Each structure stands twice: as C-alpha cells, then as structure tokens.
Amino acid sequence: MRNVLWAVAAATAITAGPAWAASDFPTRPVTLVVPFPAGGAVDIVGRYLSDKLAAEWGQPVIVQNQPGAGTSIGSLQVSMAEADGYTLLLNSSSFLMNAAVSADLPYDLVEDFTHINMVGGVPLVLSAGPSLNATSFEGLVAVSAQRPVTYATAGVGTINQFASELLGGEAGLNLIAVHYPGGAAALTDVIGGHVDFFYSSMIQALPHIEAGSLSAIVISSAERNAALPDTPTVGELGFPDAAMSQWWGLFGPAGLNADLVARLNEDLAGILATAETEAFFAQTGGEPLHMPTDAFTDLVVTSYRQLIDIAAELGITN
C-alpha cells in the first residue's frame, strides 16, 4: 500500500520544457513561503534554494517563514496569492499528511495548488536525548516496557508523528506525542531532556548527533546511510513496512501559466544538477530529486489518498 508514498527515489531528471514567453521573469523580488519556523529542515533547504534561485534570476528570493497549524497557515497564503510566480511555497511531505488528518482545511491540496516539482529527499533518523537514557533501539524498547516514551513532533499530522506512530505500531512501543510549532523547538526540548526522542529528517538532526547532544537510534530506510553508517535501519531491525522518507517540493497557486511552470522547472533542475547542490544534500544524508510536473502531481494525489487510509490505521487525527 505504501510503495508509491515512500518511493521518492523514483524521481528522475526532467527534460527541458518549452521556453517561457515572458523570459524576463522575474522583474521584482519573489517570495518563497516556508510554512515552518526558521531552523527546521524545510527552512534549511528553502534558504539554500532561495540563494541559488536569486543568483539565477538576478532578483531577491525572500524566504518568509509562516509557521503554524501543521503547515496550513503558510500554505493558505500561497493558495490565495496571485498566480504570477511571485509567491511560491516550499513544503515537505508533511503538507500531505496534515491534509490527510484535517477535515476542515481552508484549501484543497489538489485543486488549489500548482505542483511544480520535487526538489530533494532524505531519510529520517530517530534521535534520542538524555531523558531516554538509551542509545540503541534495544534500549528504547526496554524503556518503553517500563514507562511511556515521549516523542516530539513539528506539529499534528507532520511526518514526525506519522513515522513515530508507524514504527511504534510495528515494534509495540508505548508512545506519547508532544507537539511543537516546528522542528527547531522540538529538537531544543529533546536535547534539553524534556522529551525522549525526535524522529526527524537527517538534515536537521545530524549536526546535533555529530556534536554528541543526540544519539542516533535508527534510520527510516531499508539500507544504511553514508552520513550515519553505524546506525541501523528499520529494515535491518525487521520493520520494513515502517520505512519512510521525507521529500521537499515546490508549489505555487493554482493556475500558474504552463510556460512559467516550465521555466521554473528548468531553472530548478539546473540548480539541482550541480555538484554543489548534490554535496549540500549529501552532507546530511539526502539527495536532490526532481520530476516532471505531471509526475509530481500524480505522486501528490496518490500519496495523499494513501495517507488518509494510513492516518485512520494509525489513529492520527487533528
């Protein structure tokens, strides 16, 4: 059931689209809305891409953090913006997850957005703070047998909650969710010993693991990752159905001109194909990923429908 949902590796290089008639785009600053606080994984990727797009376009690309309500505040802003390319959204797979658990969102995930392109993907790493008093998955299981284990999320319906509950269900863990407005705040409390673990993107957790303030427990992939070669995977531990990856994608308001979308795809593909971008993602265990707009839209729609079923199965509601 989850093959399509987690198969971000299926993303491929796009072919160049037709030249956009208004080739002078942009003629003024572009706003890139990030629906999470500064310091989280989406923000880190967004600031990297904004710098590269600004250099490509010769115009500022301003990252605007609009956190809250499981990405819906920032997402709503973009859905209501003028469909001219000057307001774009960088969101993660949590965009779909929040929609899957929220019955009253003020936008339609499928109809109110242009799904421009995927930009990258990365496995998750379950990293524990000092309050867990365990540095291995076996230790996590042992603690869970003695008391409820708390885990942090970047909000209800985010990938942190889905991944934690999915693994918890497979492994029989006794878990309690503690929700935060973003990943940076969640990491701070885990490092401070207020919450036991955070199952987050590697791009966010790796610096703290390398600094020794967090312990890497398990990676959410079938195979080991070069960034954490000594950390076991959910596949190795016998839970292949708990494999999950985070991806990031670029979105715009519904109705973006097809030639503009092709131009955005072309420029983004050029950035993602550079050795510098590959190194940026690789240093935190990820990789640049992109696909044609139609394929990305298909992935979004199919994954969203699957997530509705998975949320019901895991009992995740907003």
Q: Give pLDDT tens digits for 67-85.
A: 888 789 999 999 999 999 9
Mean pLDDT of the residues in the chain = 90
pLDDT of residue 79: 97
Provide the residue type at 291 as one letter. M
Q: How many CB atoms lie within 10 A of CB 276?
A: 9
Unique residue bearing structure tokens 């990031």: 248
pLDDT of residue 14: 36
Beta partners for residue 28, in sequence order: none
Domains and CATH numbers, the chain: 3-122+245-314 (3.40.190.150), 123-242 (3.40.190.10)
Average pLDDT (149-167) is 93
pTM: 0.84
- Cα dihedral across residues 31, 35, 37, 43: positive or negative: negative
With beta carbons less than 8 A apart as the criterion, state whether 9 and 288 touch. no
pLDDT of residue 11: 52
